[in-house]
C-alpha cells in the first residue's frame, strides 16, 4: 500500500464529509477502475474511513509532483503519492495503468 492524499477538486454531490483525506491506497487511479483509499475515521470509536469512487473516466500523472488528476462520472480529484521515495515504476506497479 502507498501513503497518499486524495483531494476533491469539484463534484456534483456532497457524499464526502471532507474535501481531502490522507491514508493508504493499494491502487492508482486507472481508467475503467474504481479508486479506493483508507484513512483515519472521522467518527470516534471507528477503526478507519474508506473512500471509493465510481469508475475513473480519465487519469493523468505528473511525475514531478507524483500526483494523479482524475475524473469520475461525478467528480474531479487529485491523488498525491506521499511516499516520495517511490519511483514511477514502483507507483505504477500498483495497477495496470500505463504511463503515457
Per domain, the residue ranges of the chain are 2-92
Residue range 27-72, pLDDT digits in tens: 999 999 999 999 988 778 878 889 899 999 999 999 999 999 999 9
Mean predicted lDDT score pLDDT of the chain = 89
Sign of CA dihedral 10, 8, 26, 100: positive
Distances (CA, A) of 90 to 20, 67, 93: 24, 14, 5
Check residue 99 and report its DSSP letter.
-
| pLDDT given for residue 14 in this prediction | 67
> What's the pTM?
0.86
Amino acid at each position: 500500500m502507498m501513503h497518499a492524499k486524495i483531494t476533491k477538486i469539484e463534484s456534483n454531490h456532497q457524499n464526502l464529509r471532507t474535501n481531502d483525506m490522507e491514508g493508504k491506497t493499494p491502487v492508482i487511479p486507472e481508467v475503467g477502475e474504481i479508486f479506493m483509499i483508507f484513512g483515519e475515521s472521522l467518527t470516534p470509536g471507528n477503526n478507519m474511513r474508506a473512500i471509493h469512487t465510481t469508475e475513473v473516466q480519465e487519469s493523468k500523472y505528473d511525475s514531478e509532483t507524483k500526483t494523479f488528476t482524475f475524473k469520475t462520472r461525478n467528480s474531479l480529484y487529485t491523488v498525491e503519492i506521499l511516499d516520495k521515495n517511490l519511483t514511477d515504476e514502483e507507483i505504477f506497479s500498483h495497477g495496470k495503468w500505463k504511463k503515457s
